Structure 1
Amino acid sequence: MIAGVIRRMVLWRGLEEWTAEAARVEIGDDGLRATGTQLGSHRLPYRLDYALDATGPGFATRHLRVAAAGENWRRSIDLLRDETGRWHCNAQQEGEVALAAPGLAAEAAAAGLAAPGFTAEAAAALGPEALDCDLGLCPLTNLMPIRRHALDRARGAHDFTMAWVSVPDLAVHADRQRYEHLAPGRVAFSQPTGFAAELELDDDGLVVHYPQIAERV
């Protein structure tokens, strides 16, 4: 059970990439559950369905299940963070498609299948300090680190390591991110790559506008 639950149905549309997303979300005082569908054309047309359980302490991820499918291919991951903070991933795929292998990047790198730019060393950095998953092009998963530290309401800045799931390939690797409170309902997001954006949030901490990525419908 999630204490003090609020139920939301949220829609987003992509800005620079064509995407459409719908999510049913249950937000509580200390966690959330959500199911959603994302349609996109990043790299190639796809449909993606996900189920998220972030009911660990302080909105920490327990489980993310994602299934992606396109023309003549499909793949899925079950991403789990256990009670010791260790991440586990079961990946499956069917069909031939020019995408990186799904699953943990360290395992893909060992098999010579890692996505360009992602190394086994980067994947190995996905340790107990990584509390959250982050699904590519999905505004929902920004909520967990923001709500954990009340950055939508109170001053502060925090650095995070995320289990980032790229789409539509579903490769999982460590990603460094920083969130900083700017004003009520406004949070700065940045990465070591130089990418930065100012997120506009609603009263529940859900993204209303994410420059270059998505906006609420």
Structure 2
Amino acid sequence: MITHRLVRTWEVLPSGGYSTAWAELTGRRLAARGRAVGLLPEPHWVTYTLDTGDDYVTSRLRVSVDTAGGTRTVDLRNDAGRWTVDGAYRPDLDGALDCDLGLCPLTNTMPVLRHDLHRGTGGGGSGPHDFLMAWVSVPDLAVSANRQTYTPLAPDGQGVGGPRASRVRYSSGEFQSDIEFDERGLVLDYPELATALTR
């Protein structure tokens, strides 16, 4: 089975920092590690590892954040739909397939790949796809259930990533953004959040 190894660095606008992910795609699984540095709301370092099972369903996310106040950690696990946070069962996350790490563009990849949303209006279909996410905020690492909608958009010419890039409309609550993805399902441009510096 072929493994695709990918590296991407983003400038992260809300934190005034940068995020780098080293990812491996094997079959329909994703394994990744990443690091980020930010200045807002306070200077912080983030380190994480992410593993999925089949169909890019999150199995584990481990995150560590260093700030002036010390080090915080969280261990998020999904075992056949039963989510735990640091070993404690979280029934509010039942039904979620994905984690979503705040200010981390990599975690937009799993639902996009699962439903081929980066293929435009082809295999992913043209309608909206609704998801429940296990959302981890940064830098406090609070975990909450978050509902999100991804809608593939028809190609509208050449974007930041060139003719093979595609756009997916992301919305959650009052927030909405048209995210540009490359052919591997990685974020190229996420208005108001992140822009890829490496391709």
- The two structures have a TM-score, normalised by structure 1, of 0.79
Aligned residue pairs total: 182
Shift of 1:31: 1.4
Shift of 1:10: 0.7
The answer to whether structure 1 residue 62 and structure 2 residue 54 are counterparts is: no
Q: What percent of counterpart residues are identical?
A: 43
Unpaired runs of at least 5, structure 2: 156-165
Q: Name the CA distance, whole Å, in 2 between partners of 1:16 and 1:52.
A: 22
Q: Specify the alignment match of 2:83 in structure 1.
A: 87
Shift of 1:125: 2.8
The answer to whether structure 1 residue 125 and structure 2 residue 92 are counterparts is: yes
Q: Specify the alignment match of 1:22 in structure 2.
A: 20
Q: Cα deviations across residues 168-207 of structure 1 (Å, max 9, x unaligned)?
A: 011111000000110351101001x210000001110100
The answer to whether structure 1 residue 164 and structure 2 residue 132 are counterparts is: no
The answer to whether structure 1 residue 31 and structure 2 residue 29 are counterparts is: yes
Q: Specify the alignment match of 1:214 in structure 2.
A: 194
Q: Is the 1:69–1:75 contact (alpha carbons within 8 Å) kept by the matching residues of 2?
A: yes
Question: What is the root-mean-square deviation of aligned Cα atoms in Å?
Answer: 1.7
Structure 1 consecutive aligned stretches of length 4 or more whose deviation exceeds 6 Å: none
Q: 1:182 aligns with which of 153, 156, 160?
A: 153
Q: 1:71 aligns with which of 60, 68, 75?
A: 68
The answer to whether structure 1 residue 5 and structure 2 residue 41 are counterparts is: no
- The two structures have a TM-score, normalised by structure 2, of 0.86
Q: Is the 1:161–1:177 contact (alpha carbons within 8 Å) kept by the matching residues of 2?
A: yes
**2:144 partner letter:** H
Query: More strand by proportion, 1 or 2?
Result: 2
